[in-house]
A and B are shown apart, each in its own frame.
Chain A
Amino acid sequence: MMLTELTIAAAQGGLRRREFSAEELVGAHVAAIDRLNGRLNAFITVTSEQALDAARRADAILAGGGDVPALTGIPLGIKDLFCTDGVRTTAASRMLEDFVPPYESTVTANLLADGAVFVGKTNLDEFAMGSANITSAFGSVENPWKRAGDAETVLVPGGSSGGSAAAVAARLAMGATGTDTGGSIRQPASYCGIAGIKPTYGRCSRWGTIAFASSLDQAGPMARTVEDCAILLQSMAGFDTRDSTSVDIAVPDYRAACGRSLKGMKVGIPAEYRVAGMPAEIEAAWEQGIAWLRDAGCEIVEVSLPYTKYGLATYYIVAPAECSSNLARYDGVRFGRRVPGASLDELYEATRREGFGAEVRRRILMGTYVLSAGYYDAYYLRAQKVRNLIRKDFENAFQTVDVLLTPTAPSPAFAQGEKMDDPVQMYLNDVFTVPASMAGVPAMSVPAGLSQSGLPLGLQVIGRSFDEESVFAAASALERAAGFTHRPAVRAEVV
């Protein structure tokens, strides 16, 4: 049995039936990391020893039988944006290259409490700012997928949760945590042929997760099946008094929702997502998804989200504004990198020039500008008003439909070096994912098929606030219909 090929759901059963031990399961993934991480660079920090220790403890618990926590012995990758107690947490930034938090984020603490085993901290765009995982101070991540007939060209895994997506796709971890601010879970999931959900804003606590844009940041799981995402989100989600934006609503049984019938579900197809210049294969995948859901008993309804087209521009005001303030704490005084200076201001300026990469600096400057005196109303205030219109678009649509179906990204994974010259071109990768982020509603990417070049394409299901269940139900139906069994060229069992 290839342990690295198992789903989390299958491994849960196998561990409980003692078909294999947690040490064997974790060991298989640690071995795969040893073999492939040098190439893929999916992990910034690998915690093999701690993982194997944790696996042995998991085996002791499993040996005791009885009610074993859900994720006991399951090896996961943790995006290096979640603070982990005693384990270096970098945000993929030189600024935090030696930062060791004395605390555990709520999301990872929840996973640990459910028995999960962390095999390492996954790579990302610096401070989660990017769509290709090329801005990491620890080097870019390679997408384990290859274009058909082209084993050479290195493709990007998407971003910012590119390390998590690559690790899960290449079978280096059974699942991983991601964070999504404008598409950072869904877009890399789409590029790497896996599933990933950004739950409703407020569903997962942000406590202990390094902030990029506080009003948008939301943690979520990435895994190879929709059901595995449901299992992980079940553990990650939940009310947390330490996060004032966490919402006190009971977490339903997500796994059960995956099996729900879609009979009578109304699926909205937003006209405005048919953007000019959309590649035919994206359009075709979308049409295929519509057909699958119709076959599953859904009613397909055309809907209009007229302000959607302003989502991206709005995002690139709101997110940099919040980031410019959130990242002010990296000043070389209490933690992180410090570059000496003769005066306090010289210390600040040198530290922040050297500690941050070009994209982070650019966004901080952009955010500083849109908040500055004389420009606040023209940019930030206007953007927050447009954002309200975008949110109302979704509210209106959800008066008549239960979920929306769209493509996840306007293209499959592109090659490293493409789209790198013009920030705006790079930002356009998030055109389909950003609106749901702006509205705070849950959205999931699920693999739907391959492009002509043999690369995975994802479809996005968007739901009402706190109705992740309908999202899981629709995504599961798409997953079953797609029967996506393709695997990337670079993966654990390929030597």
Chain B
Amino acid sequence: MTYLIEGRDGPWELVVGLEVHAQVISQSKLFSGASASYGGEPNTHVSLVDAGFPGMLPVINRECVAQAVRTGLGLKARVNLESRFDRKNYFYADLPTGYQISQFTHPIIGEGAIEIELADGSTRMIGITRLHLEQDAGKSMHDQDPARSFIDLNRAGVALMEIVSEPDIRTPEEAGAYLRKLRMILRYLGTCDGNMEEGSMRADVNVSVRKAGEPFRTRCEIKNVNSIRYVMQAIEVEAVRQVEIWEGGGSVDQETRLFDPARSETRSLRSKEDAHDYRYFPDPDLLPLVIEEAWVQDLAAHLPELPDAKCQRFQDEYGIPRYDAGVLVAEQATADFYETVARGRDPRLAANWVIGDFFAALNRTGRTIQDSPISADALGGMLDLITDGTINGKIAKDVFEEMLESGESAAEIVERKGLRQVTDTGAIDAAVQAVLDKNPDKLAEYRSGKDKLFGFFVGQVMKAMAGKGNPALVNEALKKVL
């Protein structure tokens, strides 16, 4: 699907590439033994290495390297067995050493790809240029004091993965789909929690526009956008801004910009006279990072099943539609929940209940699957009662609501409230006869050809039996009499 910006003199095409900073899940920091966990009292998750004290030296964390390799494998990317760390030199209040340790010329992960799915059901491949490891910076607080900014280094030195896409993205929707898919993969892998609100995943967005068939024009980088919605909005407004500049006879400057969601505009972040010159060079405190092929293979062997593979397997193994499979694999926890429910049961019935009533109930109660009041086993137990004919589908909905409220098992509720469906044909026949006796006019209408009234009789019989009649048997009994 093409996304074109209608300019004054014709349509413009959008070109977007994304640089995502994903915070690595690890116990300790990339180069120091201080805690990498979020929060903590100010400056308590800080070692003297993080604070850049004289003579302090970095030592790399194996797990952070493993997480980068896992992510690379998950992105079907090349793992570079030798990579290097460089220093990116610049001065800033929350950068204690005056340089960020990053990977510039030799990243740990090379080219890969992500398949994204769009609303119309089509798919596209978005290329991954590279993934590298680097340090996060500390935090500056500007609103605590009239004259000073305060510095907290708890985040300084936490490992980040910078994941750079090719400029393959052509619409805001694709950018959103890419970020959602990337986040899903990272969460599956357990390498990043993908929480954009807490800043553990943030995106720099490179935007340019061009006429169809042209080479790339100058791009602008919109820094640190912290939600998928804002990324999509920022792309839209930035593209329009650039089209206006080109059409006005001007030219777009390559620069860094910020997105202001309140005003829905981007604005220039740095003046040109203070252009950065990062003076990258190999960090002499660190040697080249050389990893063993066997270790990479071992990490690969222990990777979890990823969303694309799981989605395909759900369709193949459980015979559920692609859409349902996609919904169920969006979160690892959901997929696990579904598989527990579906195991040894009717997988389609399980999918309908999980996606339908169960999701609706979570939404309604504001719960997540992790603190759901109904466990997968409990939901499965209820489905068993449907399948073995103990309750019918209508009663099941009541039982489900009751489970939600009381936390009891379906069997307990059915027992306690006497909801077991009636399969005694004698009792059903009696109920049918009573309904016919009570509604001689309707019976006459039906017999004169108003077939639609069959439903009315079913409803009346079920009502008379307090919903507990076996629907199939009720149907059968009615047909016989009518």
Interface residues, chain A, with chain B CB atoms under 8 Å away: 82-83, 89, 91, 96, 99, 101-103, 105, 206-211, 213-215, 241-245, 321-322, 324-325, 327-329, 331, 333-335, 344-345, 348, 368, 371-373, 376, 380
Contact = CB atoms under 8 A, between A and B. Distances in A.
B55 A105 contact: yes
B284 A376 contact: no
Contacts of A329: 52-54, 96-98
7 contacts: A96-B54, A207-B55, A244-B58, A322-B284, A324-B279, A325-B98, A380-B281
B277 interface: yes
A215 B284 contact: yes
B96 A334 contact: yes
Interface stretch (B85-93, B195-203, B380-388): B85-93
A321 B285 CA distance: 13
Contacts of B59: 241-244
B114 to A, nearest CB: 32
A231 B97 CA distance: 36
A364 to B, nearest CB: 11
Given A328-B91, A331-B98, A103 B48 contact: yes
Contacts of B89: 324-325, 328, 371
Contact of A101 (B53, B57, B60): B53
Given A329-B96, A376-B281, A207 B51 contact: no
A215 B285 CA distance: 7
Q: Give 4 closest A-B pairs by Cβ, nearest first.
A: A328-B98, A371-B279, A214-B284, A215-B284
Given A210-B54, A210-B55, A325-B279, A245 B48 contact: no
Contact of A333 (B55, B56, B151, B279): B151
A368 B277 CA distance: 10
B286 interface: yes
B410 to A, nearest CB: 57
A335 B285 contact: no
Contact of A213 (B56, B98, B284): B284
Nearest to B94: A333
Nearest to B275: A373
A214 B97 contact: no
B99 interface: yes
Interface residues of B, number: 29
A223 B60 CA distance: 36
A214 B54 contact: no
Contacts of B472: none
B279 A334 contact: no
A325 B54 CA distance: 12
B262 interface: no
B57 A243 contact: yes
Given A102-B48, A103-B48, A211 B279 contact: no
Contacts, number: 98
A35 B52 CA distance: 38
Contact of A335 (B53, B58, B281): B53
A244 B285 contact: yes
Contacts of A102: 48
A102 B55 CA distance: 12
Contacts of B48: 102-103
Contacts of B99: 325, 328
B54 A91 contact: yes
A211 B51 CA distance: 15
B309 interface: no
Contacts of A373: 277, 279
B454 to A, nearest CB: 81
B287 interface: yes
B58 to A, nearest CB: 7
B143 to A, nearest CB: 16
B91 A348 contact: yes
Given A103-B48, A324-B279, 18 more contacts: A105-B55, A206-B57, A207-B56, A210-B54, A211-B285, A215-B284, A244-B285, A245-B284, A324-B89, A325-B98, A325-B99, A329-B54, A329-B96, A329-B97, A329-B98, A333-B151, A371-B89, A373-B277
Contacts of A333: 93, 96, 151
A71 to B, nearest CB: 22
A243 B57 CA distance: 6
A311 to B, nearest CB: 17
A131 B58 CA distance: 29
Contacts of A322: 284
Interface string B91-108: 101001111000000000
Contacts of B149: 344
A310 to B, nearest CB: 19
Contacts of A101: 53-55
Contacts of A82: 55
B91 A331 contact: yes
Nearest to A240: B57
Contacts of B55: 82-83, 101, 103, 105, 206-211
Nearest to A243: B57
A31 to B, nearest CB: 32
Contacts of B96: 329, 333-334
B57 A244 contact: yes
